[in-house]
Amino acid sequence: MLKLFTITTLLVGTQATGKCTFNEKHFNNFTLAIVNNTLYMDLVTPRTIPRGLKVFMDVQISLDKRRNYQRLFAYVLDVCAVVSSVKSSMFKSWFQSILQHGNFMSNCPVPPGRYFLHDWKLDSQLVPHYLIPGDYRVFSHFFYGKHKTRHEDFVLDIDIYAVMRAA
């Protein structure tokens, strides 16, 4: 069973929307809100999240008013490898920042329970210098197995729209 809900986002006075879909086999609840550039997330896992969880992360930009998005970069990442890695990367920096505002585990497997992220903002130091001002779409697809095959076990989709303005 899949659950779908809409995220209403206020970003620098501009209203945007996103959507999130999760598999009830993996989450009892998953809520996400972005208010005034601040992210709040609560989730409840009914069972252990084992190693092998992957995320397809697709970052896109729109340079026109029609909201036609073009891919900047996309990666398939092993979530546990990023979380437990000692090697620095953009994704590892994001996760370390998230750890300061929530109770997420820094290793795998993750036991069942309630996890949260409150009052988190993507600090300007965490934004890659090559990203230009514009309208962005960040799509994250979490899964087990092999991406886009019949062996894929869907976990969660998060689709967020954000506006980055020059400082």
The token pair at 43 is 């989730």
Residue 62 sits in which domain range? 2-164
Q: Tell me the backbone φ, ψ of residue 109, rounded to 5 degrees.
A: -75, 160
Q: What is the pTM of this model?
A: 0.85
Quote the mean pLDDT of the chain.
83
Mean pLDDT score, 78-94: 83
pLDDT digits (tens, 9 = 90+) for 48-60: 999 999 999 999 9
Q: How many structural domains compose the chain?
A: 1
Which domain CATH number covers 83?
Answer: 2.60.40
In sequence order, the 6+-apart residues with CB closer than 8 A to the CB of 11 are 34, 37, 162, 163
Q: Are 107 and 84 in contact (CB under 8 A)?
A: yes
Q: Find which of 57-66, 79-88, 94-103, 106-115 is predicted with most confidence, using mean pLDDT.
A: 106-115
pLDDT at residue 2, as a whole number: 42
pLDDT digits (tens, 9 = 90+) for 125-166: 777 778 888 888 999 999 999 999 999 999 999 998 888 877
Q: How many Cα atoms within 13 Å fall on the side-chain side of residue 133?
A: 3
